[in-house]
Amino acid sequence: MVNAISGNIRPNSYGNILRAGNLPNGRVLYNVIDSEGNKAGKLSVPFEQVDTFEESYKQILDSAPKIQAFVKANSSEEAITKRRNLGRGIVATSGIAGAVLPIVLLRKSTSITKKILGVVAGIVAGLSAGFAASLGVTSPPGSIQFALASRNLSRLDIQPVLDKKA
């Protein structure tokens, strides 16, 4: 659920979104609170999308501090270079393994075409697997969860609610 639906606000440096009620047009109204506790605006979400909105918002709140802590701990030039080299090493090792495996498996084959296609397919598969493994090893914890939640939010019909006083 959204942070602080029951009135208990978890203080954080990202602000909060609180459910404020329902609108006559079938949308749910939320108050946006900034990190200092001041009202920053309002937004609305269709009733059918409330669960997705609230779950995605909770996932972002849960993963953001992990990402922030990782960035603070690993933002030096030395740490960045180390992660970059680790990622390159993983991709290169996987690509080499992808090339060697078909060579070993197809060593008794008499078809040159089969060997060439096997090696090319092995290199592509190895590089792809290495890239995925590299992302998993060098990315901050919670970054996949954050990205998926952000993607879910971008698909929703979230609209700002403007005060009619202006």
**Phi and psi, residue 47, nearest 5°:** -55, -35
pLDDT in tens, 14-30: 778 888 888 888 889 89
Name the pTM for this structure: 0.66
Q: Is 60 exposed, middle or buried (0-12, 13-18, 19+ CB in 10 A)?
A: buried
Neighbours of 78 (CB within 10 A): 8
Which among 117, 93, 20, 15 has a CA at the least distance from the CA of 61? 15
pLDDT in tens, 135-164: 888 888 888 899 999 999 899 888 888 876
Residue 131: pLDDT band (50, 70, 90) is: very high
